Structure 1
């Protein structure tokens, strides 16, 4: 059965969807970006249905200012209260004794930051957001990966010789790609590394290998800021460029990862 649940958060009213299941371990889905709880391509609906059919209750919700929930949307870094309120409502409605939190993109980063207050028991963090925007170009690590792929493709060289490449854009991309990985511990990557180091719950990182956000995270994860957490966190790779794991094979892979965590 699927039902809608209203619950309070900091004086506002949030709306969530519960897919019921008999298990005592449940899945909390936190939406990324400004997406409503349905998810891109209805991905979160389909995942919730499939997990519930396998016996585990699933709760997903709209944070303040998104979708059916009241209040103002101040971005993922303001969602500590939302995550805690949703987790509490999930426990009250189902009686679950263990909760696995799943989030994609900045929802993954938010879960890493705020799972402690919500007493979430395990984390599945897909394509965590570590990008601090300075321009409209993709992250430097993603540019390097794309250029490395294109250099090996004779068709790309032919396109360059025929004038099919924007030289100005190419120059900007090469300049950004040449920048070294930041070494400082500050900034969003450093804060995420600190949050993961301070965490005491089992954590798995899920990455779509060809996705720009995943590539940026993988580059940061290989740097010194994450040295202290690399051997305490599992990383699982999906051979896909889809940020939202949109293809049928991607969905099967994601279902397997979530099932294993549950």
Structure 2
């Protein structure tokens, strides 16, 4: 059964939803970007229903200034108190829960890593955001990550139609050389104060066990793979060959399976 409730965070009333279940391990879903707790196309609400049906309580919330919650929206960089208050509210609303795993996609994943220590027993972070600035406000680079360029050119080299266009001179060679030059350029380490570098440092100091989920065709995931080498070596990574940033459509089944695997440990 799903209940709507509210809890306090630094003087603001935050809206939340609890999908009840009998299990003692619960899932806290942190929304990414400026999405409300139901998620894009109700994706997080449907995920919560699936996980609760498997026996695990699920708590979702709108951070300050989003959806039905009061307060000012300070973005994911200032969401630490919101997450901490949500954890306490989850424990209060479901006192039988003894273990809580946090899940977030995009900048919600970054928030879960950056705002440690949190009273969580595990983390599932999907496609962490590494561009400086909020996910809905920051401009991505003019060129996609080198991993994206490599994948695109490899797919075109396997496509007879693309090769025919090259032979016929129908390819924009300026774009082609621009893309190839990006592959030749050596990857520069992230600046010490960049979001990517801060995420890598947070992972080194991370207390609870964590798993990274990546949709390898997604530009945000590709940027993470390129910019956060420490995180990739420190934490277990599970990859899905998909361009879907939010694990939409059939990819939702893969996401549910990975989450249930972690909750069942």
TM-score, normalised to structure 1, is 0.88
Aligned to 1:74: 74
SS of equivalent to 1:246 = coil
Residues 83 and 115 of structure 1 are in contact (CA less than 8 Å); yes or no, is this contact kept in structure 2?
A: no
SS of equivalent to 2:115 = helix
Question: What is the aligned residue count?
Answer: 255
Aligned-residue CA RMSD (Å):
2.1
Residues 13 and 70 of structure 2 are in contact (CA less than 8 Å); yes or no, is this contact kept in structure 1?
A: yes
Q: Does 1:238 align with 2:234?
A: no
Q: Partners of 2:181 and 2:154 in 1: how far apart?
A: 15
Pair 1:24–1:127, CA change in 2 (3 A): same
SS of equivalent to 2:14 = strand
Deviates more, 1:127-136 or 1:202-211: 127-136
Q: Partners of 1:184 and 1:207 in 2: how far apart?
A: 20
Taking the TM superposition and a 5 Å limit, the aligned residue runs for 1:1-262 are 1-95=1-95, 96-116=97-117, 118-132=118-132, 133=139, 135-160=141-166, 169-170=175-176, 172-184=178-190, 186=192, 187-221=194-228, 223=229, 226=230, 230-248=232-250, 250-262=251-263
Q: Partners of 2:38 and 2:53 in 1: how far apart?
A: 17
Residues 140 and 179 of structure 1 are in contact (CA less than 8 Å); yes or no, is this contact kept in structure 2?
A: no
Deviates more, 1:81-90 or 1:171-180: 171-180
Residues 124 and 203 of structure 1 are in contact (CA less than 8 Å); yes or no, is this contact kept in structure 2?
A: yes
Residues 110 and 199 of structure 2 are in contact (CA less than 8 Å); yes or no, is this contact kept in structure 1?
A: yes
TM-score, normalised to structure 2, is 0.87
> Unaligned 5+ residue runs, structure 2?
133-138
Q: CA deviation at 1:162?
A: 5.7
1:55-101 CA deviation, whole Å, 9 max, x = no partner?
A: 11100111111111122222211111111111111111101211100
SS of equivalent to 2:114 = helix
Q: Partners of 2:141 and 2:214 in 1: how far apart?
A: 24
> Unaligned 5+ residue runs, structure 1?
none
